[in-house]
Amino acid sequence: MGIKNAEFVKSSTRLKECPKNKLPEFVFMGRSNVGKSSLINMLVNNKKLSKTSSKPGKTQLINHFLINSNFYFVDLPGYGWAQVSKSKRKEWEKMISNYILNSKMIVLIFILVDVRLKPQKIDIENINFIGKNNLPLNIIFTKCDKISSSLINKNIDSFFIELSNYWSEKPNYFISSSNKNLGKDEIEKLIFRVNKSLN
């Protein structure tokens, strides 16, 4: 087990442009600047695989990365970035929702949530969107090296209290830090377990 190789395959503006070979897709989505690209780089042990930036909105396309020649990581544009036009945001939202609802190869969706923030309406909305469409969901709380462990627990509890207004059961979740490799082994184990179950 373990990620031995990872390579960027292509960026797509719509589902029909995505890779045609039928391999399982593990999808990463979240608010702009939540750390999707950094998390992917941590998982594959390559800081340069997925382009990162301190400026939100770096990822603007559907990006496929081939992992172990066996499955894909898919990095989606961040949602909730205010510094683009309303029409551009709508365009991204349409692209993301069309891909998520119509790709037949998605086996797991990770929604990344910045653990430092109070519950954000847009995160809750996107988690509910995934749930209403009966898609497999896990939550990853990012940037867990930035605050104390007690505050991490408090903020996660607050998040799930808010989510309990819509969910009867708490989704599976991880805590992570790309700077500290926190959560890497646990997330990787889940990915390989899910992928193995498909064979």
Run of H or E including 112: strand 106-114
pLDDT of 14:
87
- Give the number of other CB atoms < 10 A from CB of residue 102: 11
**Residue 193: its pLDDT value, please?**
96
Q: Which helix (H) or strand (E) holds 88?
A: helix 86-102
Average pLDDT, the chain: 90
Cβ neighbourhood burial of 150 (10 Å; 0-12, 13-18, 19+): exposed
Q: Which two tokens stand for residue 125?
A: 């909305």
- Higher pLDDT: 57 or 142? It is 142
Question: Which residues are CB-contacts of 102 (< 8 A; sequence separation ≥ 6)?
Answer: 15
Per-residue pLDDT, 84: 59
> What pLDDT score does 85 carry?
63
Would you state the structure tokens that stand for residue 93, as one six-digit string? 């939202």
Question: pLDDT tier at 139 (50, 70, 90 boundaries)?
Answer: very high
Which residue is listed with tokens 């007690």?
150
CA-CA-CA-CA torsion sign (190, 70, 24, 144)? positive
- Can you give the pTM of this predicted structure? 0.92
How far is 187 from 43, CA to CA, in rounded Å?
8
pLDDT score, position 93: 78
Which pair of tokens denotes residue 84?
């683009």
- Report the half-sphere exposure of 75 (CA within 13 A, side-chain side): 30
Residue 44 is inside which H or E element, if any? helix 36-44
